[in-house]
Amino acid sequence: MKYILLVLSVFCSYLGYSQNCNHRLRGSVIDFHANTPLEDATIKLKNTDKITISDKNGIFNFEDLCEGTYTIEVSHIGCKTITKTVKVKGKTSVTITLEHHLEELDEVNVSGKSKTKVTSVEQSISKEVIEVYTDKSLGDALNTISGVSSLNTGNSIVKPMIHGLHSSRLLIINNNVRQFDQEWGDEHAPSIDINSGGQIEVIKGANTLIYGSDAIGGLILIKPENYALRDSLFGSTSLSLNSNGLGGIINSELTKTYKSGFYSRLQANYKRFGDFNAADYDLTNSDIESINASARFGYKSFEKGFDAYYSYVNNTIGILSTAHLGNVNNLVRAINTSQPIFVGDFSYDINNPKQLITHHLGKVEAYKRFQGIGKLSLQYDFQINRRREFDRRRQNFRDDPAADFRLFTTSLQPNLRIDAFDDLVVNTGLLVRYQQNDAAGFEVTNISIPLIPDYDKYDAGIYFTGNYSLNLNTEISAGFRYDFSRIEAEKEYKLADWEENNYDELFPQFSSGMVEDFEILTFPEFDFHNISSSLGITRYFENDIQFIFNYGLASRMPNVAELFSDGLHHSAARIETGNLTLNKEVANKFILSLERNNQNFGFTVSPYYKYINDFIQLIPSGEVSESIRGSFVKWNYDQVNAHIFGIDIDVNKKLSQHFDYSGSLSVLRGDNLTEDLPLIHMPSANFSNSISYKNENLNQLSLSLTQYTELRQNRFPDYNFTTFDPILLEDVYVDISTPTDAFTLFHFNSSVRFKISDRSHLNVSFNVENVFNTSYRNYLNRFRYFADDLGRNVNLKLKFNY
């Protein structure tokens, strides 16, 4: 009897338990952006055998569940698998949202062209290519892209150009912050450490409205690395040694990431070179010393995150001694001789003339996603740029800068990305910016009128851009932007110059009426309204072929150098004079591109045309100014109507399992339509060919030989002139226009990788630039009048990844 009661008790307990397992879990799976149901999502109840699929309405059901807590695992093609804990009791409902655009949360390694849909002509430089140029400048790395060249001042100051345009006609975006470091000067290279970025993109078309309205030339986008969400600690230390300049760079970086979404990164380097050398002689006082550092900290998840970034750049750059001459006779002799007038012994000393530049950049950005709408982000950033330029001066002024600028820039930018629709993405945002230039350093330099005056600048802008997929093969984009800018300056003019330029009648409201020592104090104020727009179409065809059309209307106000320059721009070795009557530039840009993105055989053919109304140019006046600071040619700003057109061609071909070929060709023509002359300082036609060998089984061995040829620029304006030489007591002919001859250079690159442990390896690179030690002068080098460009350089790079 006792055993029968025990069995009945267990049976009743089982019945009671089974009777409680009639609970139900009903749920829906939807897209976070569009609030639309996701069909065929897989839903599992972990630690059970229950699994189901969502229907066309995104609905799923689990029946006959016991009361308790369950862990649901939900997956869908194109989405990140998520888990969710649910307490089930009675009829329980749950809504699960999945995200289809999680690529921005994953680590992305890009080489070559982007595979995402775009409606502008874009080219990228990967992290691997950046490492090749670790001891060089941003401009040097960008020169590897067709249609991109550089305006050089010697070998250390390299200013990027896209389709013949540079300075404030290019937007440089550094970690989502528009770079402001007195970019108006021809010899003011961007204060950017190339090692702080993870990828560089060049946009040649008009899809730049999110960043600004004045990208007449194009956009250079420096992106940080994107980290995967996992617990990890990794870093690298690299050393680069060079024979030319007997120097190099040491760079180190360390990154920590967490599965929770937090990440941090520290990076720093030190670069030092002595006098560089041309093929046949040293380039005296061409040294450079640089200290750079950056720090990044942030958190990212699908719904929210933030990113804080700070970078510091400190450059000391020597200016070629022979570029600063004492009289007209020396100037003419320097231009007409094959070697510099002065060649000293090799040295690491950076003497006057030189530049001392420091740049601070800070940014804080935060974002929040809203279901059914999109992503709202807010960014605050600031920059502090200080530039000191030292001339050859008398002993008692030797340590005082001849120019001392302090530029402060700060901005606030909210942006809303609306991606709740399947085929449409809209970006809209605002910009508020303030900028202040302080030329107070001139008060102790014994120079009464600074080259660039004190000024305050106020900017405000609004933009709308949209990308719409008509179907799987066609995408269009359009955008509109309006910007308002106001400049308030305080500047002294020589009274004779003020009246000679007729400013006393054109701008009487600027005059304070205060005249002292034949100088008049003025307060110029200007307002500018800029409207820009863009339209792009991309069509995809079979065999990886796509066609891109892009049109852009861009407006650019005159920069402060073009308006107010007044005196010696010592690092450019010339006298510059601004023009208060300048209007804004308005450009219409057209670019086409036929592309085939294929590793076996790919190509890009991109013709373009730009018509620029009121194009601002800086041209020689035909005069030489002599003072105790030396003898310098005078240059003035004026405006003309102009057009620039050309074509960029890139080809890549896989020759065999291990051998690849790549080549490029760029042809450009620029015309001053107002005066029926060629535009000054336009790049000449150039082409390159490269053969590379790669073998993954031989420690990832890589070998390549590259040929680069630049043809002579036969289209140039003739601004040569005669001037009186007080030493020879006669007129002399000053040839500052005739271009240099064509040249061809060969470069060799090699690298190999050695495994140190499961988590570390060593990369060794051996490279030779200008293999045959060719003597040449580049037409776009500002110091081509005085010396050759660089000779052969043998480079050894060691990079330890851990």
- pLDDT band for position 105 (50/70/90)? very low
pLDDT at 576 over 70: yes
Supply the pLDDT for residue 626. 63
Between 555 and 115, the higher pLDDT residue: 555
Helix, strand or coil for residue 673?
Answer: coil
Distances (CA, A) of 125 to 169, 198, 220, 683, 767: 21, 9, 11, 21, 19
Pairwise CA distance, residues 257 & 338, whole Å = 56
- pLDDT band for position 186 (50/70/90)? confident
Supply the pLDDT for residue 653. 96
And the tokens for 690? 């490269």
Pairwise CA distance, residues 79 & 82, whole Å = 9
Residues written for the chain = 802
Q: What is the pTM of this model?
A: 0.86
Pairwise CA distance, residues 30 & 329, whole Å = 79
- pLDDT band for position 491 (50/70/90)? very high
Pairwise CA distance, residues 534 & 304, whole Å = 31
- pLDDT band for position 100 (50/70/90)? low
- Whether residue 560 contacts residue 493, with contact meaning beta carbons closer than 8 Å, is answered with no
- pLDDT band for position 148 (50/70/90)? very high
Q: Cα-flanking dihedrals φ and ψ of residue 486, to 5°? A: -135, 130
Lowest mean pLDDT among 277-291, 559-573, 638-652: 559-573
Mean pLDDT along residues 580-596: 96
Helix (H) or strand (E) holding 376: strand 374-390
Pairwise CA distance, residues 302 & 33, whole Å = 11
Q: Cα-flanking dihedrals φ and ψ of residue 334, to 5°? A: -65, -40
Between 87 and 683, the higher pLDDT residue: 683
Pairwise CA distance, residues 68 & 23, whole Å = 10
- pLDDT band for position 394 (50/70/90)? low
DSSP 283: -
pLDDT digits (tens, 9 = 90+) for 744-780: 999 999 999 999 988 899 999 999 999 999 999 999 9
Supply the pLDDT for residue 570. 59
Mean pLDDT along residues 134-143: 90
Query: Judging by DSSP bridges, how do beta strands 218-223 and 170-174 pair with one another?
Result: parallel
Lowest mean pLDDT among 311-315, 349-353, 794-798: 349-353
Q: Is the peptide bond before 524 cis (omega within 30 degrees of 0)?
A: no
Distances (CA, A) of 225 to 105, 132, 200, 222: 11, 17, 10, 10
Supply the pLDDT for residue 800. 95
Mean pLDDT along residues 271-297: 95
Supply the pLDDT for residue 112. 35
pLDDT digits (tens, 9 = 90+) for 235-265: 999 999 999 999 999 999 999 999 999 999 9
- Work out the percent of the chain whose per-residue pLDDT is above 70: 90
Supply the pLDDT for residue 733. 84
Lowest mean pLDDT among 265-269, 326-330, 399-403: 326-330
Supply the pLDDT for residue 12. 43
- Whether residue 678 contacts residue 726, with contact meaning beta carbons closer than 8 Å, is answered with no
Lowest mean pLDDT among 220-229, 274-283, 468-477, 565-574: 565-574
And the tokens for 432? 């508020």
Between 230 and 602, the higher pLDDT residue: 602
Mean pLDDT along residues 9-22: 52
Q: Cβ neighbours of residue 177 under 8 Å, at least 6 residues apart? A: 361, 363, 379, 381, 383
Q: Which domains does the chain have, with CATH numbers?
A: 2-100 (2.60.40.10), 122-801 (2.40.170.20)
The CA radius of gyration of the chain, in Å to the nearest whole number, is 31
Q: Cα-flanking dihedrals φ and ψ of residue 5, to 5°? A: -65, -40
pLDDT at 631 over 70: no
Residue type, 142: L
pLDDT at 71 over 90: no
Lowest mean pLDDT among 227-241, 322-336, 510-524: 322-336
pLDDT at 4 over 60: no
Average pLDDT, the chain: 88
DSSP 168: G
pLDDT digits (tens, 9 = 90+) for 356-375: 999 999 999 999 999 889 99
pLDDT at 3 over 60: no
Supply the pLDDT for residue 573. 63
- pLDDT band for position 392 (50/70/90)? confident
pLDDT digits (tens, 9 = 90+) for 678-732: 999 999 999 999 999 999 999 999 999 999 999 999 999 998 888 777 777 788 8
- Whether residue 124 contacts residue 114, with contact meaning beta carbons closer than 8 Å, is answered with yes
- Whether residue 416 contacts residue 375, with contact meaning beta carbons closer than 8 Å, is answered with yes
Between 398 and 583, the higher pLDDT residue: 583
Per the listing, tokens 């702080």 go with 196
Q: Cα-flanking dihedrals φ and ψ of residue 183, to 5°? A: -75, 0
Compute the C-alpha angle 733/736/737, nearest 5°: 115
- Whether residue 107 contacts residue 89, with contact meaning beta carbons closer than 8 Å, is answered with no
pLDDT digits (tens, 9 = 90+) for 286-333: 999 999 999 999 999 989 999 999 999 999 999 888 877 666 677 777
Pairwise CA distance, residues 388 & 402, whole Å = 8
pLDDT at 353 over 90: no
Supply the pLDDT for residue 107. 39
- Work out the percent of the chain whose per-residue pLDDT is above 90: 59
Lowest mean pLDDT among 96-100, 415-419, 556-560: 96-100
- Whether residue 774 contacts residue 279, with contact meaning beta carbons closer than 8 Å, is answered with yes
Exposure on the CB side of residue 122, measured as CA atoms within 13 A:
24
Pairwise CA distance, residues 37 & 31, whole Å = 6
pLDDT at 180 over 90: yes
Residue type, 732: V
pLDDT at 110 over 60: no
Mean pLDDT along residues 223-240: 91
- pLDDT band for position 569 (50/70/90)? low
CA-wise closest residue to 560 among 662, 650, 437: 437
Alpha helical stretches, state H, 522-596 = 560-564
